[in-house]
Every structure is written in C-alpha cells, then in structure tokens.
Amino acid sequence: MNPNSLPYTWLMFDADGTLFDYDAAEMAAVAQTFAVYHLPYNAHYGERYRQINHTFWQRFERRDVTLAELRVGRFRQLFDELGTAVDLEGFAHSYLVQLAAQSQLFPEAVALIRQLHGRYRLALITNGLADVQRPRLEQSGLRPYFEAVIVSDEVGVGKPDPAIFEVAFARMGQPPKERVLIIGDGLTSDMQGGISFGIDTCWLNMNGKTANGLPITYEINRLSDLIELLEK
C-alpha cells in the first residue's frame, strides 16, 4: 500500500508537453531539417508548422488521419502554403531523424521522476512515432524509471482511445483503476482518455488554459506541484 494519503500505486505520465519540452524540440528539428535541404528558414515557418502539426495530431486523436498520413501531410500543407517544391517523403524522414535527436526535458522533470521512483510504479503513455519517441526517451536518461512504456505507433491507436489504455493496463499487470493516476498536459488526449477509461486525472496546465467543462480530478500548474498534491 502506498504510504501517502492518496490511493495511487501507479502514476501514468504523458511524454511531450509534460516531461519533455516538445515545443523546443520541434522548433530545433524543423530549423535543422530546413538546413539539411538548404532551404531558407525563418521563425514564422516553424510557428506555422507547429500550428499545422497540432491540427494533424488533433485529427489523429479523432481517428480522422493515420500516423502515416500525418507524417507527410503536415509538411505537404506547410510547403503548399510556402509555395515551395520539396521531396516530401525525404523531408518528413529527415525531420523525424532530427526530432529523434531532441531530448529536451522541462527543468523539473528529472528530479520529479527520481523522487517518485520507488514510491510509485511509473508508466509512460505517448502519442507518437516509435522511431522518434524511443530514442528521445533513452537519450533523456528517464527510461530506467518506467516499468511500462506505451507508444501509439506501436499499438496502432492513440489517446484518447480506450484501446491504448487497455494495452497499458495489460503491461502494468492490470492494477485496479482506482490505484492509477494519469498526469498530462493534453485535454483531448490525456485528460479525455483518462476520463473515458475511468481513471483519475491530473492536468498539468502551465499556460492558464480552461478545462472546457471536463471533470478533471486534479489540476497543477507546474510539475513540482505533483509532489505536494500526492503528499497532502
């Protein structure tokens, strides 16, 4: 039994936007890929890509596009807008290579995970491509702390679909749902997924957003707040 007052034995973390600074990784990877292709680049291109990419991931969550379609489609839209002809398959592949080399974490992430490890069992559940997420996790130094790592690309379905949570719980040894807390920044993926699956949710809201009526269990504004929440 967990010695703390809250009943959780498993903590299930999202990766990007929760532990990993995905915005920094994304911007670096986009700029580096433009350089590989000897294309002119400015920050506006990166920001527009971020917007397009976000929309594609929302469509993936709704199962409107597949990961294969997302992988290339986001760059097709970007370069159509820029009026630039480029080898889309090649560019998309090069971008993933660059992104896989980006393992920037939020400043509090390492200390938090180390502090929780041994007191709770830890799982990671992420929407993403395996050849990107797996290397980033290894390079970050966090991989040894997680007993279970679930990547949507390997499962064939992503958050918020209950099917990815079924896979996660199977790998976690089928703990009681009331013993599991999911922590993430995504309302439509992490929070909606947890709610639909019937587990408690902890929303990492670092940007002052609103929950849009979702019945979230807890809300924190920075990673370090999680320790206080679990111990109160």
In the numeric block, the tokens 């920094």 are attached to 24
Work out the angle at residue 158's Cα, subtended by the Cα atoms of residues 190 and 180, and round it to the nearest 5 degrees.
Answer: 45
Q: Which of 14, 21, 153, 200 is catalytic?
A: 14
Handedness of CA 91, 92, 95, 97 (dihedral sign): negative
131 is annotated as an active-site residue: no
**In contact, 161 and 136? CB cutoff 8 Å:** no
Question: CA-CA distance, 14 to 24, in Å (whole number)?
Answer: 17
Work out the angle at residue 162's Cα, subtended by the Cα atoms of residues 180 and 209, and round it to the nearest 5 degrees.
Answer: 70
Q: Where are the beta strands (DSSP E) in 96-193?
A: 121-126, 148-151, 180-184
**In contact, 145 and 117? CB cutoff 8 Å:** yes
Structure tokens at 168: 């996660």
What's the order of all strands across the beta sheet hosting 121-126?
A: 148-151, 121-126, 10-13, 180-184, 200-204, 218-220
Catalytic residues: 14
